[in-house]
Structure 1
Amino acid sequence: MYLREAVLLLLVIFYGYITQIDSKVEFTNIKCISKDKSFFEFEYCYIKSVNRSYKYISLKTNMYQLPIKNASATLQLFKRFRSYTPITMNVTVDVCKYMASNMNSGNPMLKLYAEATKKYSNVHHKCPFDHDLVVDKLPTQFLNQHFTTVLPLPPGDYAFFSSWYVRGVERGNIWIYGIIS
Protein backbone atom coordinates (compact mmCIF):
# COMPACT_ATOMS: atom_id res chain seq x y z
CA MET A 1 0.00 0.00 0.00
CA TYR A 2 2.68 2.47 1.04
CA LEU A 3 4.88 1.43 -1.86
CA ARG A 4 2.20 2.37 -4.40
CA GLU A 5 1.72 5.80 -2.81
CA ALA A 6 5.48 6.37 -2.67
CA VAL A 7 5.87 5.46 -6.36
CA LEU A 8 2.96 7.76 -7.24
CA LEU A 9 4.55 10.61 -5.27
CA LEU A 10 7.89 10.06 -7.03
CA LEU A 11 6.16 10.10 -10.43
CA VAL A 12 4.45 13.40 -9.60
CA ILE A 13 7.78 14.93 -8.49
CA PHE A 14 9.57 13.55 -11.58
CA TYR A 15 6.83 14.96 -13.84
CA GLY A 16 7.26 18.36 -12.19
CA TYR A 17 10.98 18.36 -12.94
CA ILE A 18 10.43 17.33 -16.56
CA THR A 19 7.92 20.11 -17.22
CA GLN A 20 10.32 22.73 -15.80
CA ILE A 21 13.14 21.94 -18.24
CA ASP A 22 13.96 24.96 -20.39
CA SER A 23 15.39 24.93 -23.88
CA LYS A 24 18.16 27.34 -24.65
CA VAL A 25 19.34 28.80 -27.96
CA GLU A 26 23.02 29.63 -28.30
CA PHE A 27 24.81 31.16 -31.31
CA THR A 28 27.88 29.27 -32.48
CA ASN A 29 28.87 31.00 -35.74
CA ILE A 30 27.77 33.59 -38.28
CA LYS A 31 28.91 34.02 -41.87
CA CYS A 32 28.10 37.08 -43.93
CA ILE A 33 29.04 36.87 -47.61
CA SER A 34 28.80 39.70 -50.12
CA LYS A 35 28.44 38.24 -53.63
CA ASP A 36 28.67 41.65 -55.33
CA LYS A 37 31.13 43.99 -53.59
CA SER A 38 30.27 46.82 -55.99
CA PHE A 39 26.69 46.68 -54.68
CA PHE A 40 27.34 46.30 -50.93
CA GLU A 41 29.84 45.05 -48.37
CA PHE A 42 29.55 43.98 -44.77
CA GLU A 43 31.27 46.51 -42.51
CA TYR A 44 30.99 44.07 -39.63
CA CYS A 45 29.30 40.75 -38.91
CA TYR A 46 29.94 39.08 -35.58
CA ILE A 47 28.68 37.28 -32.48
CA LYS A 48 29.57 38.99 -29.21
CA SER A 49 29.61 37.04 -25.96
CA VAL A 50 29.15 39.47 -23.07
CA ASN A 51 29.01 36.70 -20.46
CA ARG A 52 27.94 33.06 -20.26
CA SER A 53 24.25 33.84 -20.61
CA TYR A 54 24.20 36.91 -22.89
CA LYS A 55 25.26 36.70 -26.55
CA TYR A 56 24.12 38.79 -29.46
CA ILE A 57 24.58 39.20 -33.21
CA SER A 58 25.41 42.50 -34.89
CA LEU A 59 25.96 43.24 -38.55
CA LYS A 60 26.10 46.28 -40.79
CA THR A 61 26.06 46.60 -44.56
CA ASN A 62 27.51 49.51 -46.50
CA MET A 63 25.18 49.97 -49.47
CA TYR A 64 26.72 51.50 -52.61
CA GLN A 65 23.78 51.50 -55.06
CA LEU A 66 20.80 53.19 -53.47
CA PRO A 67 17.78 53.33 -53.36
CA ILE A 68 16.65 49.71 -53.23
CA LYS A 69 13.12 49.36 -54.58
CA ASN A 70 13.02 45.65 -55.45
CA ALA A 71 14.35 43.18 -52.86
CA SER A 72 13.60 39.56 -52.07
CA ALA A 73 15.02 36.86 -49.84
CA THR A 74 15.00 33.10 -49.48
CA LEU A 75 14.95 31.77 -45.93
CA GLN A 76 15.44 28.21 -44.75
CA LEU A 77 16.10 26.41 -41.48
CA PHE A 78 18.39 23.35 -41.34
CA LYS A 79 19.06 20.74 -38.65
CA ARG A 80 22.29 18.84 -38.44
CA PHE A 81 21.96 15.08 -38.57
CA ARG A 82 25.09 13.83 -40.38
CA SER A 83 25.09 16.98 -42.48
CA TYR A 84 22.78 19.99 -42.47
CA THR A 85 19.38 18.85 -43.75
CA PRO A 86 16.47 21.23 -44.44
CA ILE A 87 13.64 20.94 -41.93
CA THR A 88 11.50 23.77 -43.30
CA MET A 89 10.45 24.64 -46.78
CA ASN A 90 12.56 27.16 -48.63
CA VAL A 91 10.52 30.36 -48.22
CA THR A 92 10.96 33.09 -50.81
CA VAL A 93 9.58 36.46 -49.84
CA ASP A 94 9.34 39.74 -51.72
CA VAL A 95 10.71 41.96 -48.96
CA CYS A 96 9.19 45.18 -50.32
CA LYS A 97 5.68 43.70 -50.65
CA TYR A 98 5.97 41.99 -47.26
CA MET A 99 6.99 45.20 -45.49
CA ALA A 100 4.20 47.14 -47.22
CA SER A 101 1.56 44.58 -46.18
CA ASN A 102 2.02 45.10 -42.42
CA MET A 103 3.76 41.71 -42.24
CA ASN A 104 0.62 39.62 -41.76
CA SER A 105 1.71 36.07 -42.48
CA GLY A 106 0.96 32.72 -40.91
CA ASN A 107 4.55 31.59 -41.54
CA PRO A 108 6.49 31.44 -38.22
CA MET A 109 9.81 32.23 -39.95
CA LEU A 110 8.37 35.40 -41.46
CA LYS A 111 6.85 36.41 -38.11
CA LEU A 112 10.25 35.95 -36.48
CA TYR A 113 11.83 38.07 -39.24
CA ALA A 114 9.24 40.81 -38.76
CA GLU A 115 9.64 40.95 -34.98
CA ALA A 116 13.44 40.90 -35.20
CA THR A 117 13.48 43.74 -37.74
CA LYS A 118 11.07 45.77 -35.63
CA LYS A 119 13.14 45.58 -32.44
CA TYR A 120 16.75 45.11 -33.53
CA SER A 121 17.11 46.52 -37.05
CA ASN A 122 16.57 49.62 -39.15
CA VAL A 123 14.81 47.81 -42.02
CA HIS A 124 11.30 47.83 -40.56
CA HIS A 125 9.71 50.10 -43.17
CA LYS A 126 8.41 50.09 -46.72
CA CYS A 127 10.68 50.28 -49.74
CA PRO A 128 12.70 52.12 -50.91
CA PHE A 129 15.68 51.50 -48.65
CA ASP A 130 18.00 54.48 -48.99
CA HIS A 131 20.43 53.82 -46.15
CA ASP A 132 22.89 51.26 -44.83
CA LEU A 133 21.23 48.24 -43.23
CA VAL A 134 21.96 47.34 -39.61
CA VAL A 135 21.04 44.53 -37.21
CA ASP A 136 22.05 45.80 -33.78
CA LYS A 137 22.54 43.42 -30.85
CA LEU A 138 19.99 40.67 -31.68
CA PRO A 139 20.18 38.63 -28.44
CA THR A 140 19.79 34.91 -27.91
CA GLN A 141 17.03 35.59 -25.36
CA PHE A 142 14.83 36.91 -28.18
CA LEU A 143 15.36 33.72 -30.18
CA ASN A 144 14.87 31.52 -27.09
CA GLN A 145 11.27 32.68 -26.89
CA HIS A 146 10.56 32.02 -30.57
CA PHE A 147 12.36 28.72 -31.05
CA THR A 148 11.11 27.15 -27.84
CA THR A 149 7.49 28.39 -27.68
CA VAL A 150 6.35 29.77 -31.05
CA LEU A 151 8.25 27.26 -33.22
CA PRO A 152 9.15 24.44 -30.79
CA LEU A 153 12.24 22.62 -32.00
CA PRO A 154 13.97 19.60 -30.43
CA PRO A 155 17.53 19.95 -29.11
CA GLY A 156 20.34 19.85 -31.67
CA ASP A 157 22.55 21.85 -34.02
CA TYR A 158 20.73 24.20 -36.38
CA ALA A 159 21.56 26.61 -39.18
CA PHE A 160 19.52 29.46 -40.64
CA PHE A 161 20.46 30.23 -44.24
CA SER A 162 19.27 33.33 -46.05
CA SER A 163 20.05 34.61 -49.53
CA TRP A 164 19.28 38.22 -50.44
CA TYR A 165 18.37 39.41 -53.93
CA VAL A 166 18.02 42.89 -55.37
CA ARG A 167 16.51 43.33 -58.84
CA GLY A 168 16.58 39.52 -59.27
CA VAL A 169 20.35 39.19 -58.71
CA GLU A 170 21.76 37.38 -55.66
CA ARG A 171 23.73 39.99 -53.70
CA GLY A 172 24.62 38.26 -50.45
CA ASN A 173 24.13 35.46 -47.93
CA ILE A 174 23.81 35.38 -44.17
CA TRP A 175 24.28 32.04 -42.42
CA ILE A 176 23.65 31.80 -38.68
CA TYR A 177 24.58 28.63 -36.79
CA GLY A 178 23.35 27.72 -33.35
CA ILE A 179 22.55 25.04 -30.81
CA ILE A 180 19.28 24.37 -29.03
CA SER A 181 19.98 22.51 -25.80
Structure 2
Amino acid sequence: MYFKAAKSFLLVIFFGNIMANAAKLEFTNIKCHAKDTAFLDFEYCFIKSVNRTYKYISLKANMHEIPITNASAKLQILRRFRSYMPITIAASIDICKFMAYKKDLANPMLRLFEEITTNYTNTNHKCPYDHDLIVDKLPSRFLSEHFTNILPLPPGEYSFNSKWLSKNIERATICIYITIS
Protein backbone atom coordinates (compact mmCIF):
# COMPACT_ATOMS: atom_id res chain seq x y z
CA MET A 1 0.00 0.00 0.00
CA TYR A 2 2.78 2.40 0.97
CA PHE A 3 4.71 1.58 -2.21
CA LYS A 4 1.67 2.36 -4.44
CA ALA A 5 1.10 5.70 -2.69
CA ALA A 6 4.78 6.66 -3.01
CA LYS A 7 4.80 5.59 -6.66
CA SER A 8 1.67 7.67 -7.39
CA PHE A 9 3.17 10.67 -5.59
CA LEU A 10 6.38 10.47 -7.64
CA LEU A 11 4.40 10.16 -10.89
CA VAL A 12 2.36 13.26 -10.03
CA ILE A 13 5.54 15.24 -9.28
CA PHE A 14 7.28 13.94 -12.42
CA PHE A 15 4.40 14.76 -14.80
CA GLY A 16 3.72 18.03 -12.99
CA ASN A 17 7.30 19.13 -13.64
CA ILE A 18 7.07 18.08 -17.29
CA MET A 19 3.84 20.03 -17.76
CA ALA A 20 5.26 23.08 -15.96
CA ASN A 21 8.30 23.15 -18.23
CA ALA A 22 6.52 22.10 -21.43
CA ALA A 23 4.81 25.41 -22.19
CA LYS A 24 7.04 27.73 -24.18
CA LEU A 25 5.85 30.87 -25.93
CA GLU A 26 7.79 32.18 -28.90
CA PHE A 27 7.19 35.27 -31.05
CA THR A 28 6.88 34.45 -34.75
CA ASN A 29 5.82 37.77 -36.29
CA ILE A 30 4.52 41.25 -35.56
CA LYS A 31 2.56 43.51 -37.89
CA CYS A 32 1.92 47.17 -37.14
CA HIS A 33 -0.32 49.02 -39.55
CA ALA A 34 -1.26 52.71 -39.36
CA LYS A 35 -4.75 53.15 -40.81
CA ASP A 36 -4.56 56.94 -40.62
CA THR A 37 -1.01 58.14 -41.33
CA ALA A 38 -2.02 61.76 -40.74
CA PHE A 39 -2.76 60.78 -37.13
CA LEU A 40 0.17 58.42 -36.46
CA ASP A 41 2.84 56.33 -38.11
CA PHE A 42 5.16 53.63 -36.83
CA GLU A 43 8.83 54.55 -36.67
CA TYR A 44 9.72 50.95 -35.88
CA CYS A 45 7.91 47.72 -35.09
CA PHE A 46 10.04 44.58 -34.76
CA ILE A 47 10.93 41.37 -32.94
CA LYS A 48 14.54 41.14 -31.80
CA SER A 49 16.08 37.74 -31.13
CA VAL A 50 19.02 38.19 -28.77
CA ASN A 51 19.61 34.45 -28.43
CA ARG A 52 17.58 31.24 -28.53
CA THR A 53 15.78 31.94 -25.28
CA TYR A 54 15.44 35.74 -25.23
CA LYS A 55 13.25 37.54 -27.77
CA TYR A 56 11.49 40.83 -27.33
CA ILE A 57 9.15 43.21 -29.14
CA SER A 58 9.73 46.94 -29.53
CA LEU A 59 7.63 49.51 -31.34
CA LYS A 60 7.29 53.26 -31.52
CA ALA A 61 4.23 55.12 -32.76
CA ASN A 62 4.89 58.73 -33.74
CA MET A 63 1.79 60.74 -32.87
CA HIS A 64 1.00 63.66 -35.20
CA GLU A 65 -2.22 64.95 -33.63
CA ILE A 66 -1.61 65.49 -29.95
CA PRO A 67 -2.86 65.67 -27.24
CA ILE A 68 -4.94 62.48 -27.33
CA THR A 69 -7.84 62.80 -24.92
CA ASN A 70 -10.14 60.09 -26.29
CA ALA A 71 -8.60 56.66 -26.91
CA SER A 72 -9.95 53.13 -26.93
CA ALA A 73 -8.79 49.66 -27.94
CA LYS A 74 -10.24 46.31 -28.95
CA LEU A 75 -8.17 43.29 -27.89
CA GLN A 76 -8.70 39.70 -28.97
CA ILE A 77 -6.84 36.38 -29.06
CA LEU A 78 -7.25 34.13 -32.10
CA ARG A 79 -6.05 30.56 -32.57
CA ARG A 80 -4.99 29.10 -35.88
CA PHE A 81 -6.80 25.99 -36.97
CA ARG A 82 -7.05 26.31 -40.75
CA SER A 83 -7.39 30.04 -40.42
CA TYR A 84 -7.25 32.30 -37.37
CA MET A 85 -10.47 31.97 -35.37
CA PRO A 86 -11.37 33.90 -32.19
CA ILE A 87 -11.05 31.97 -28.94
CA THR A 88 -11.80 34.89 -26.62
CA ILE A 89 -14.46 37.54 -26.61
CA ALA A 90 -13.09 40.84 -27.87
CA ALA A 91 -12.33 43.08 -24.90
CA SER A 92 -13.11 46.71 -25.67
CA ILE A 93 -11.67 49.29 -23.32
CA ASP A 94 -11.74 53.03 -23.01
CA ILE A 95 -8.03 53.67 -22.49
CA CYS A 96 -8.43 57.03 -20.77
CA LYS A 97 -11.05 55.76 -18.33
CA PHE A 98 -9.14 52.52 -17.70
CA MET A 99 -5.84 54.27 -16.98
CA ALA A 100 -7.58 56.72 -14.62
CA TYR A 101 -9.38 54.11 -12.50
CA LYS A 102 -7.74 50.70 -13.32
CA LYS A 103 -11.06 48.86 -12.95
CA ASP A 104 -12.04 45.46 -14.39
CA LEU A 105 -8.71 43.82 -13.58
CA ALA A 106 -10.58 40.53 -13.08
CA ASN A 107 -10.59 40.21 -16.89
CA PRO A 108 -7.32 38.42 -17.84
CA MET A 109 -7.00 40.42 -21.09
CA LEU A 110 -7.24 43.73 -19.23
CA ARG A 111 -4.88 42.52 -16.50
CA LEU A 112 -2.33 41.65 -19.21
CA PHE A 113 -2.83 45.07 -20.81
CA GLU A 114 -2.30 46.78 -17.45
CA GLU A 115 0.87 44.79 -16.68
CA ILE A 116 2.33 45.57 -20.11
CA THR A 117 1.61 49.31 -19.79
CA THR A 118 3.08 49.38 -16.29
CA ASN A 119 6.33 47.58 -17.09
CA TYR A 120 7.13 48.04 -20.78
CA THR A 121 5.55 51.26 -22.11
CA ASN A 122 5.56 54.99 -21.54
CA THR A 123 1.73 55.08 -21.41
CA ASN A 124 1.17 54.27 -17.73
CA HIS A 125 -0.62 57.51 -16.91
CA LYS A 126 -3.97 59.22 -17.34
CA CYS A 127 -4.99 61.03 -20.51
CA PRO A 128 -4.03 63.26 -22.27
CA TYR A 129 -1.18 61.60 -24.14
CA ASP A 130 1.01 64.34 -25.57
CA HIS A 131 4.01 62.24 -26.62
CA ASP A 132 4.97 59.37 -28.91
CA LEU A 133 3.91 55.94 -27.69
CA ILE A 134 6.63 53.35 -27.09
CA VAL A 135 6.65 49.66 -26.21
CA ASP A 136 10.22 48.92 -25.16
CA LYS A 137 11.63 45.39 -25.05
CA LEU A 138 8.50 43.39 -24.16
CA PRO A 139 10.02 39.91 -23.63
CA SER A 140 8.42 36.66 -24.73
CA ARG A 141 8.97 35.15 -21.27
CA PHE A 142 6.63 37.78 -19.75
CA LEU A 143 3.85 36.76 -22.13
CA SER A 144 4.73 33.09 -21.70
CA GLU A 145 4.13 33.37 -17.97
CA HIS A 146 0.79 35.09 -18.56
CA PHE A 147 -0.49 32.72 -21.25
CA THR A 148 0.59 29.51 -19.54
CA ASN A 149 -0.25 30.31 -15.89
CA ILE A 150 -2.97 32.97 -15.78
CA LEU A 151 -4.76 32.25 -19.06
CA PRO A 152 -3.73 28.66 -19.84
CA LEU A 153 -3.70 28.09 -23.58
CA PRO A 154 -3.02 24.71 -25.19
CA PRO A 155 -0.09 24.36 -27.61
CA GLY A 156 -0.66 25.91 -31.02
CA GLU A 157 -0.33 29.04 -33.12
CA TYR A 158 -2.03 32.21 -31.88
CA SER A 159 -2.53 35.81 -32.86
CA PHE A 160 -3.01 38.65 -30.38
CA ASN A 161 -4.89 41.31 -32.33
CA SER A 162 -5.45 44.86 -31.19
CA LYS A 163 -7.26 47.74 -32.85
CA TRP A 164 -6.51 51.24 -31.59
CA LEU A 165 -9.11 53.98 -31.91
CA SER A 166 -9.24 57.68 -31.19
CA LYS A 167 -12.52 59.60 -31.34
CA ASN A 168 -14.15 56.29 -32.45
CA ILE A 169 -12.05 56.19 -35.62
CA GLU A 170 -9.74 53.21 -36.11
CA ARG A 171 -6.20 54.60 -36.26
CA ALA A 172 -3.94 51.53 -36.08
CA THR A 173 -3.81 47.74 -35.78
CA ILE A 174 -1.12 45.67 -34.13
CA CYS A 175 -1.02 41.89 -34.56
CA ILE A 176 1.45 39.78 -32.61
CA TYR A 177 1.82 36.17 -33.77
CA ILE A 178 3.04 33.57 -31.30
CA THR A 179 3.56 29.83 -31.04
CA ILE A 180 3.01 27.95 -27.79
CA SER A 181 4.70 24.56 -27.64
Structure 2 length normalisation: TM-score? 0.92
Runs of 4+ with deviation above 3 angstroms:
7-15
- Determine what percentage of the aligned residue pairs are the same residue: 55
The alpha-carbon deviation at position 11 of structure 1 amounts to: 5.4
Aligned to 1:92: 92
The alpha-carbon deviation at position 106 of structure 1 amounts to: 1.2
**SS of residue matched to 1:15:** helix
The alpha-carbon deviation at position 15 of structure 1 amounts to: 3.2
For the pair 1:35 / 2:35, whether they are aligned, the reply is yes
Which structure has the larger Rg? 1
**SS of residue matched to 1:141:** helix
In the alignment, the residues of structure 2 paired with residue 100 and residue 115 of structure 1 have an alpha-carbon distance, to the nearest angstrom, of: 15
In the alignment, the residues of structure 1 paired with residue 82 and residue 12 of structure 2 have an alpha-carbon distance, to the nearest angstrom, of: 32
Aligned to 2:122: 122
In the alignment, the residues of structure 2 paired with residue 177 and residue 150 of structure 1 have an alpha-carbon distance, to the nearest angstrom, of: 19
Aligned length: 178
Equivalent position amino acid for 1:88 in 2: T
Structure 1: unaligned runs, 5 residues or longer: none
Structure 1 length normalisation: TM-score? 0.92
Q: Please provide the CA RMSD for this pair.
A: 1.7
Aligned to 1:167: 167
Instruction: Report 1:23-102 matches (<5 A).
Output: 23-102=23-102
In the alignment, the residues of structure 2 paired with residue 84 and residue 102 of structure 1 have an alpha-carbon distance, to the nearest angstrom, of: 30
